[in-house]
Amino acid sequence: MKISLLEALSIIMILVATSCHHSADLTVAPPMPHQPGPTFLCSHDTIYFQNFVLPVILSGCAKTGCHDDASHKKNYVLDNYSGILKLVVPFDPQSSKLYTVLFSNPEKRMPINSPFNMEQKSIIYWWIKQGAYNNKCDSAGCDSANVTYTTTIYPITQAWCVGCHGGSKPANGISLETYEQVVACANSNRLMGSLRHDAGFYPMPKGGESLSPCDIDLFQKWINIGKP
């Protein structure tokens, strides 16, 4: 039976669309995450839970309506190590729900409104691959000599903030994905009030965690010198 050119094109478009729903090949290891800067004084080959993994999970998963302590969707609370470990098979990312759910079809993929980028997925993969330990680097340097949005503020907001304050439905309508958005939040005094957990401000990041004193000082210095 012959089909018209229009029908043929329609069939091709359907095949392409359905193929996009296939899961990624989880047998292929993602590249290692970008290495931290020279002020990071611990092993550059180790993915530390407290420094890298927890901020990704807090901002992307442990938020209102999902997997924070109040919502505990599907009985998962992902704002602490023991809760996160329930979704992990140490040394085996491909068998760990925490990793595989990042690649599910769009209806089941997590996080729902703001899927992790490849860097975030890589952090999860290599942390599990290395044993999924509750480890922390306590010797991360604090370089305040050249504070700019690009080199200093952007990496912190990407790790801790945009999981909630990004995507199509940012928390409380506040997006922190761009320079202009972070500046606007800083100008309203909400940024530092929330980061310092001041009275009258909602403490951020969520999950009972706070940024390190170094990171908070870097935000304050960036504001003080004119938000370059």
Q: Where are the domains of the chain?
A: 42-140, 149-224
Computed on alpha carbons and rounded to an integer, the radius of gyration of the chain in Å comes to 20
Q: How far apart are CA 111 and CA 114, in angstroms?
A: 6
Q: Which residue has the tokens 């996009």?
A: 20
For the chain, 228 residues long, give each residue's pLDDT as a single digit of tens. 455 544 444 444 434 333 333 345 777 888 888 877 766 778 889 999 988 898 888 877 766 556 655 555 666 778 889 999 999 999 999 999 999 988 876 666 676 767 788 888 999 999 999 999 999 887 666 777 788 998 888 878 877 787 778 777 787 888 898 999 999 999 999 999 999 999 999 888 766 567 888 889 999 999 999 999
- pTM score, two decimals? 0.64
Helices (H), 4-93: 5-19, 54-60, 81-85
Q: How far apart are CA 69 and CA 77, in angstroms?
A: 6
Contact by Cβ (8 Å): 222, 153: yes
Residue type, 180: E
Computed from CA positions of residues 51, 52, 57, 63, in that sequence, does the dihedral angle turn out positive or negative? positive
CA-CA-CA-CA dihedral for 67, 71, 75, 79, to nearest 10: 40
Going by C-alpha positions, the residue among 89, 82, 80 that lies closest to residue 129 is 89
Q: How far apart are CA 228 and CA 224, in angstroms?
A: 10
What's the confidence (pLDDT) of residue 93?
95
Contact by Cβ (8 Å): 221, 148: no
The CA angle 98-101-107, to the nearest 5 degrees, is: 150
